[in-house]
Each structure stands twice: as structure tokens, then as C-alpha cells.
Structure 1
């Protein structure tokens, strides 16, 4: 089998809730989530990496979150995560998954099997999933079983021992198969000083899933890791004269202002970006991306780029939607400085003539110091339809 460089712009992710939660949607919206490790990898790669999704409220049999019949994920695309699934259920979804266009896929499977299946069964199913993807010509990156807190897996319990054995089998499988690799997300997740291999404090909201800071740590590591696997892209440029023209440049920028500096000093603020936007026409798909430079600040609870279709039944899509727990509590962003690119999922403009709107939404802890954010290369433009014929 030949070894080729996969496209950085079409990275697929497969697995459980640990994968699905990179994106969240409902009947009127779709967002990449701040608790998503792939979401942060996209941001911190300055938009070079992309796991594209689009809004879709349909229900797919076998793809219902937590096996609840009739429930939609509200998106389609290259996020193939479904919460609550065991490895055998993930394996059953491969035929439909392989109808999609991608070169590289990260695979999470087995975490929901740990208390009910043997270590050998889990390892064998993971190997079958990887083998099927490799046989289809895909580059496969195996994700180890993610460590959990002792509230989920008892200290010194069988689950922890099984996870270490299964993860070693994954390393050996990758070593013996071309185009197969391992990305150890536990390296960024597990506190090396913790006796029982638990995640760092604050990295998880429940001992199993990601909080924002845990997703940031893994996304940062993944963005660096993928630099060795996918080709280096040229820096993104936004020429000032690359403006939308329905005749000569129908994919040009809809924004009139390409940079901004905003200061947030209230608990919640919405900053309008891009100047006076242009409406490119009903039925056109559009997306927004901009570079962002965020200083170190210990009071950020949300920092999102939001693209809104102003039609009466219009959708809105968001990059890095804040993460709220079941009781509505917002989980903090990392207190360190960071920079990258925020890209919204695409949306299809509904009937209407009022131009779409772009916002930077900022949420701060009460009593926090002001936050100044710099934005550059604001780019809102028509894109090809992501829906397969």
C-alpha cells in the first residue's frame, strides 16, 4: 500500500461522546464547541486543519445519540461521533461513514465497553475498525482508551488495567500497519503526579468527558502532532480587493472591514464585526473565519465567533460555543494567552435580503478585569455546498 499525504482540510473523527461533543446543534443552530479537542486543534492550527460539518436535523438509524430512537445529532459531515456507543456499534456504522470524502481519520472506540466486555474483545473490535478503514485507503490515527477519574473507574480497578493493556495493543497494531498511527491524548490529559492516572484538575467536567481546559490541552497537542502528517499549508491571506461581485467574483469576501480590536468589560458582550456585509443571495452557503489574538486572562467563560442569517427562519453557526454544564454553569477558558483562527460551520442562507451578521461574543466572570481581543483577516464568503448529492 502506498503512503500519501492526507488533506488537512478534510479530517474525520470517529467514536463516542468524546468525539460527538466537538459539535453541538439544535433545530436553529450549529457550533463547534469549546469542550471539543478537534475544535481547538482547528483553532490553534490557525484554520489549517478542518473537520467540516453542516446542519442537518434528520435522524439516522444507528446514529441516534445515547441510543435514543428518533433523536438527531443535528449535523452531518466528518464528525462521526455518537454518544453512548460501544465499539461494535461504531463498527456497524462504517459502511455509511465510508461514503464520505476524507483521507485521514482519528478513531476512538472501546471506552463504553470497559465494564461489560473483555479486554480481548475490545482490542479485537478496535483492530477490525482500523483494518476496515485502512483497507479503504484511509490514514488511521488510533486514540487510546481515555483515562477516567476514580469516580468512574475505581482506583486500581480492572478497567484501568484493561485500558493499559488495550492501549499497548493499539501501539503494536499501528507499528505493524502502514498508514496507521497513534495519537496519545492521555499524554496531555493525565496528571503524571496522580497515583491512579486521573485527568488533571479542571480538565474534565465529570471524570469522563472534556471541560474546556482539557479540550484545549489536547487540541494544542493534536495540532502540533498533525504538522508531521499533513502537508504544510501556505498562510491564509485576505486581499483588500477580494470583494464579493455577483458577476466577476461570486466567492469574494462579503465583509467591508477586515480587522477589529474589541474590549469586553461587561459580563456578556456581543461585538459586531465585518462592517457592512453583502447578501450574496438566497440558497448560497457561507462561512466566516478570522484570526484572533487573546491575552492571558483568568476570567474568560466564552469567546465565540457567530455567523447569523437574519432571515426569519435563518440559522446561526458558531465557532467555539461556550460549554455549560447540566445546571447551566459555564466552564472557564484557559487562563493562558492563545491565538489562532475561529471558523464557523457553513450555513445556507434562507429567503430574505437583509445581509447576514457576524459577531464576537465574549462572556467574562463577574468582577473580571477588561479583556482586549484583536481580530484580523475577517473573511465571510460563499462556499461550495457541503451536502453530498
Structure 2
């Protein structure tokens, strides 16, 4: 696989690379950065489209796309233009005042998702925390659950973030150990098990909160009918259906939302990552008016939530998605990804799950851990990321070409050889 030739490189950038190389920079991080990540040993200095470049000028195809935060690739021209234009005008007011970019962002995001109202926040974890708060408030104000008794049903092996409340209902001990006491009010049931979910929902249940596809767990796709079953159950039981589309949404699976693969409309959607275009953190809780309408001034907020820069970039992201181009690309190129992985089954791949341009690939443990395979891929000029055990995730920018995707699959085959 041949990387595109670099067409420009500033003297300042060259000087910086000559001053501190990758290994020196990696060593320099050790004493001053908290060790909450274990990155691959690559130091990215520049990026464009689907390619990144390290400080020595080596180029890599990005097959992770910032866990879907870079659905439109690095530095998409329309998004960069929107950010530059807004930087020259206004970046932050806080919600103490109105700003001239927020109304359009909320209008267009609500229309794109088929919802009524938008609660803008910053990070994905903030969106989840906000969704939890909204569900509880709705349960007390609208459903009539006695104060302090609202429960939320979630799925095992979930990943919704790493704040204290969120890890309280995680089943990943790495995320939980050492961070208790935990927040009560959550019931965990197996994913893809409607019977278990039905047994967990009762008169205190405010909401069912699930990922339509579990990303961190290895791109786990539920059986056909599961999402529709969750929707039917929550309607029948009188509780909310909250879909966490922070990784799965905004074009990744070949639809605007992953729930659209079934005839399902949740009450609340949680969005993030790609909503910021890889430029600024932008997230949102999007929902029906009777749900988000339970919030009143002073009950929830964020200094940066809905800031003009975020709203300008978020609006540009929505504009890209309104064309349907990226959803079509993910669906069409997803066939290449699926067929390529099918050809590797029995050649080091023991199984995989894919939808659109998103795949969880299970590697024969005899060939190495997911981390080891990711390191081999890096040496082949491809960046990907492991998850549990010998599983790696592939989630390239939706701007990737068929040739680049085939090159990544060839690199994977070589890394498995």
C-alpha cells in the first residue's frame, strides 16, 4: 500500500521533528502524564484525510478514526472552513447569553434525527450523564416514580464512558476497580436478551439505556428484532428507550443512526464524537419534547455546551450528513470490508462482526493478542486498535477509498502471516 506523497511541510514542523523524535517524545510523556492510556508507539504530528504522519515523516493509514470522532477524516475542508470562519467571529459566550449559531445547530440536528429538542454538551460521557439525569427527572415528574427510587436498565459489557456514575453500571472491572462507592439505581442484564430485560423492567424503571451496537465490547451486533423488541417493551412498560449512538451514529454503519437498521425511533438519542468533526468536542442529548422538556433553568448545564464554535462545526457536520453521501459510502465500502474479512477467516481471523465501515475482528489467539496484531499493523503502515483479548477494531474515516481499504486488508493479511 502506497501512501500519498506529502505536498507541503513547513520549516517549523521539520525543525520540531529534528529536535525531538518519536522515542524522545514518548519517553518525555512518562514522568508528566498520568498513565491512563497505553498508546501504540507512534507520535502523530500531521494528518490529512485518511492519513496521519509521525514526527519523522512516516505515514500511516488511519483505520480507527478516533473511535468514530473522525468519521469525515482529518481536517475535512468544509469543517476546517467552518471552524476558521467562526474563530474569526466568536468562540464562547457561555449559555448565560444567546449566541447566533446555536439555534441553527439545534434546528438542523433535530431535523436530521427526527427529534424535537436538543441539549448540547461537550463530551460523550457528558451526554450519557445528561441522559441519565433527564431520564430520572422524567420518571419523577411525568411517570410518577417515588422520589429517589428511579432505576435504569442497562446491558452487560456496555461502554458509555468512564465517569463515576457511568462506571457504576459497567461490567468491566478494569474501569471499575478502585473507584467505588458506586452510584445506585442501575440494573444490568445481558445484551441481546429481551427476556432478561423484560424481567428487569418494573414500575420504578425510568429508562432502558443501550448501545444499538456495542463498540468497545468488539462491535457486537444484536440479533435482528432486538432493537424493535426493546422499543416495544419500553412502550408497553411505560419507560424511555435511550440509544447511545455516540460511536455508532452519524453515518458509521451506513445509516445516519444505527437504530435505523430496524424500524425503531427511541425517545432519546445520545450523540457525540463525529458531531465535533474531529475539531472540537461536541455532544448532544436529542429527544422528544415531552422528555427534554422536563429540564428547567438551573437544573443542568455546561459552560462550554452549545458554544458558538462547537455549534458552527456541528452545523457543518450535519450539513455533510444531510446529503446522504457519507451514509452511502459507509454502506458501499462496508461491502468491501466485509468481503475482505470473510476472505481472511481461517487465515488468522477466527470470526468478525461488521456493519457499514465498522468491524470487530477476532484474531486467532495463537497468533498474538489484539495489541500485538495492532503493533504489527502499525509496522505495515496501518493504525488500528485492540479491544478485549485478541479482538481488534476497524473503523476508518468514511472518506476512505476502496483502494485504501483494500490496502488495509492486505496489510492485515500480512500482519497475520
TM-score between the two structures when normalised by the length of structure 1: 0.29
TM-score between the two structures when normalised by the length of structure 2: 0.27
Higher relative contact order (CA 8 A, sep 6+): 2
Question: Which one has a larger percent helix, Structure 1 or Structure 2?
Answer: 2
